[in-house]
């Protein structure tokens, strides 16, 4: 028999993504391509296309020519209703529905950093790090909130993102070829050992045992590779390539026992949901074992697993990175500020601000109320930041670390995150401490407000007077009904922060040389004076807990375009308010909420 060349991947190339949905033993599962991967009939450079199976369809690789972020096709019996990649059938949940604000059954794609974490768990940190570097995947410092909102992602696999996922799978396959002996423990001639290795990898990659149909498809792939006289190492290479191109690896299902009916997630799906929410990685052994035993929802097991994971340092760092993105703090690396107006705002200062902000957020894991975020005055600064704060450095009796940072108590006019230089500088304009940008940052970050669109062009007021200060401009907007309908919701918060200049330095006069009045009347009628009172007011309102509940639920669900109804997160806010109020309390409330554990029936 003539040996077939394997320099280019055989029929596994992209054919692995021809996934379909089937119901096996009452459970919705993803199958490898019908007829086996090697027989899928796709050419090496072609794009994967969906295959109708009678119980709905799934586009495993972004559809036919759809751009990144475009809608995929849902499974779960929705008959091709367009959905976004964290798919809900395009139907927003409503509190009047039987589902009570629950999202419908859906598929959710994994973000690229999550895929890299899964690769690290399967094949080791070395190849995972190589994939992150080679494909420029966003790290903790560059992530979005939620992850699929990142510009490089998109809710569904489109042409560009699928090409990247395909190249990553191919790169990992090459790694398996090069490190065959150490990864598999197989002899070079032992194809039976390589076959057993692929079965083990498949169960780990799919995060559950394979179904009989998947076993058959994998066996057919192995048979096709054997027919080409592939070596044991080549069998492992292309087998891994195929498995990592499968929808069962690239997506999470949220179908439960019956994809047509409302109900809880299946145990393996719930383990996936919890793990990817908290760790950005597949379930660990303990969580997966509970799922396999069907015990994850027994008693307080789910809550205990959430508490266990939240006690791990790596999980805390992961979620602190998510908070960093939610509050827009990475923007301090890119914001443009006039060097003539802020000569100390160089790259070193930007890095110092980022380091302080990251430290500040990590302190939220202490057993203290999460609201410390808004009024805490402990921080961690170096000599550069001390000059911005106007404080002595190093402070008396302070211990300075190897990076030149020391713990400090900030002045009384400071109030938690609101007055960190990273927060203030990242919402400045190049030449002015912007009332609008800072006010918007406050109401979107802490109140989850979505400002109304601007007025029609015909209703726009005349231009502001040349040289008007920020306070004067805010007063003009307040007097113009077309402006006030939006700006009244956020300009007062920006005015309360006016004592802080371009990069967060305290000042008593504004850019026009006028004395600053930081008093403001908020849209709820409360009057505050300065950042400290603003922070205290925000922390005391129900809106803060409700917003944080909504934000974390959106993050956990990888919700990019769905509209979360209040009933989906109000129970979380109520649980949080009844707790000691720590960050861990909030995240446990999210992890155990019905909105995370259950799904409504798909749209008909």
In a domain, 320, yes or no: no
Range of the domain at 301: 266-310
In a domain, 418, yes or no: yes
In a domain, 603, yes or no: no
In a domain, 602, yes or no: no
What is the per-residue pLDDT for 587? Answer: 98
Q: Is residue 114 domain-shared with residue 153, that is, in the same domain?
A: yes
What is the per-residue pLDDT for 60? Answer: 29
The residue among 242, 263, 284 that closes a domain is: 263
Nearest Cα to Cα of residue 324 among 186, 420, 431, 228: 420
Q: Is residue 158 domain-shared with residue 205, that is, in the same domain?
A: yes
Q: Is residue 532 domain-shared with residue 568, that is, in the same domain?
A: no
Q: Is residue 62 domain-shared with residue 91, that is, in the same domain?
A: yes
Reported pTM: 0.84
The residue among 263, 278, 300 that closes a domain is: 263
Which secondary structure element, helix H or strand E, spans residue 424, and what is its range? helix 421-425
Per the CB < 8 A criterion, the answer to whether 298 and 290 are in contact is: no
Q: Is residue 77 domain-shared with residue 143, that is, in the same domain?
A: yes
Q: Is residue 280 domain-shared with residue 236, that is, in the same domain?
A: no
Per the CB < 8 A criterion, the answer to whether 105 and 258 are in contact is: no
Question: What CA–CA distances, in Å, run from 357 to 13, 162, 299, 419?
Answer: 44, 35, 38, 11
In a domain, 384, yes or no: yes
- Which one-letter DSSP state was computed for residue 266? P
Question: What CA–CA distances, in Å, run from 324 to 114, 257, 330, 416, 573?
Answer: 18, 37, 7, 14, 21
In a domain, 319, yes or no: no
Per the CB < 8 A criterion, the answer to whether 382 and 361 are in contact is: no
d(CA 168, CA 241): 9
Q: Is residue 274 domain-shared with residue 230, that is, in the same domain?
A: no
Q: Is residue 360 domain-shared with residue 439, that is, in the same domain?
A: yes
Domain count, the chain: 4
What is the per-residue pLDDT for 435? Answer: 96
d(CA 527, CA 444): 19
The number of angstroms, rounded, from the C-alpha of 473 to the middle of its chain's C-alpha atoms is 36
Residues of the chain with pLDDT under 70: 1-100, 451-462, 561-562, 604
Q: Is residue 252 domain-shared with residue 282, that is, in the same domain?
A: no
Alpha helix ranges (H) inside 42-190: 112-123, 125-134, 159-178, 180-184
pLDDT digits 0-9 by tens, 481-492: 888 989 999 999
Q: Is residue 547 domain-shared with residue 515, that is, in the same domain?
A: no
Q: Is residue 190 domain-shared with residue 272, that is, in the same domain?
A: no
Q: Is residue 590 domain-shared with residue 548, that is, in the same domain?
A: yes
The residue among 539, 568, 584 that closes a domain is: 539
Residue 85 CA neighbour count, 13 Å, CB half? 30
What is the per-residue pLDDT for 341? Answer: 96
pLDDT digits 0-9 by tens, 27-38: 333 333 322 332
In a domain, 464, yes or no: no
What is the per-residue pLDDT for 99? Answer: 56
What is the per-residue pLDDT for 463? Answer: 72
In a domain, 178, yes or no: yes
């Amino acid at each position: 028999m003539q040996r077939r060349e394997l320099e280019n991947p055989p029929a596994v190339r992209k054919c692995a993504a021809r996934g379909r949905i089937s119901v096996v033993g009452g459970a919705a599962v993803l199958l490898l391509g019908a007829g086996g991967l090697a027989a899928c009939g796709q050419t090496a450079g072609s794009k994967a296309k969906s295959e109708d199976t009678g119980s709905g369809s799934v586009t495993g690789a972004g559809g036919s020519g759809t751009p990144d972020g475009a809608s995929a096709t849902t499974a779960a019996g929705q008959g091709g209703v367009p959905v976004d990649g964290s798919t809900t059938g395009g139907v927003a949940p409503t509190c009047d529905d039987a589902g009570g604000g629950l999202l419908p059954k859906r598929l959710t794609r994994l973000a690229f950093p999550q895929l890299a974490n899964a690769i690290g768990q399967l094949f080791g940190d070395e190849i995972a790090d190589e994939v992150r570097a080679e494909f420029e995947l966003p790290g903790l410092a560059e992530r979005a909130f939620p992850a699929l909102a990142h510009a490089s992602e998109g809710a569904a696999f489109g042409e560009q993102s699928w090409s990247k996922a395909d190249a990553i799978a191919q790169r990992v396959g090459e790694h398996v070829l090069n490190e065959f002996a150490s990864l598999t423990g197989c002899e070079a001639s032992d194809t039976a050992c390589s076959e057993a290795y692929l079965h083990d990898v498949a169960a780990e990659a799919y995060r559950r045992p394979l179904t009989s149909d998947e076993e058959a498809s994998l066996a057919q792939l192995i048979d096709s590779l054997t027919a080409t006289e592939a070596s044991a190492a080549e069998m492992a290479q292309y087998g891994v390539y195929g498995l990592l191109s499968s929808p069962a690896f690239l997506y999470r299902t949220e179908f439960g026992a019956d994809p047509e009916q409302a109900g809880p997630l299946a145990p393996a799906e719930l383990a996936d949901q919890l793990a990817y929410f908290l760790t950005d990685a597949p379930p660990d052994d303990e969580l997966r074992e509970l799922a396999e035993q069907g015990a994850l929802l027994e008693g307080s097991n789910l809550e205990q697993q959430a508490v266990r994971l939240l006690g791990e340092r790596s999980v805390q760092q992961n979620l602190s990175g998510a908070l960093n993105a939610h509050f827009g703090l990475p923007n301090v690396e890119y914001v443009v500020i006039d060097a003539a107006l802020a000569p100390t705002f160089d790259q070193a200062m930007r890095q110092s601000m980022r380091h302080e902000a990251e430290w500040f957020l990590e302190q939220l894991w202490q057993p203290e109320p999460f609201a410390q975020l808004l009024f805490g005055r402990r921080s961690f600064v170096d000599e550069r930041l001390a000059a911005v704060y106007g404080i002595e450095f190093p402070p008396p009796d302070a211990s300075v670390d190897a990076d030149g940072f020391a713990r400090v108590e900030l002045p009384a006019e400071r109030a938690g995150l609101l007055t960190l230089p990273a927060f203030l500088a990242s919402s400045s304009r190049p030449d002015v401490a912007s009332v609008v940008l800072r006010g918007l940052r406050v109401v979107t970050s802490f109140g989850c407000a979505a400002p109304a669109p601007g007025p029609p062009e015909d209703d726009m007021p005349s231009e502001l007077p040349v040289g008007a200060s920020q306070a004067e401009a805010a007063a003009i907007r307040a007097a113009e009904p077309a402006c006030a309908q939006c700006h009244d919701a956020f300009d007062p918060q920006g005015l309360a922060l006016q004592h802080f200049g371009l990069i967060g330095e305290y000042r008593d006069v504004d850019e026009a040389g006028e004395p600053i009045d930081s008093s403001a009347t908020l849209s709820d009628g409360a009057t505050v004076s300065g950042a400290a009172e603003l922070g205290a007011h925000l922390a005391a309102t129900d809106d803060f807990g409700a917003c944080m509940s909504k934000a974390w639920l959106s993050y956990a669900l990888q919700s990019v375009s769905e509209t979360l109804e209040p009933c989906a997160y109000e129970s979380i806010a109520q649980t949080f308010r009844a707790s000691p109020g720590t960050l861990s309390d909030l995240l446990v409330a999210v992890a155990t909420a019905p909105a995370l554990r259950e799904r409504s029936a798909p749209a008909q």
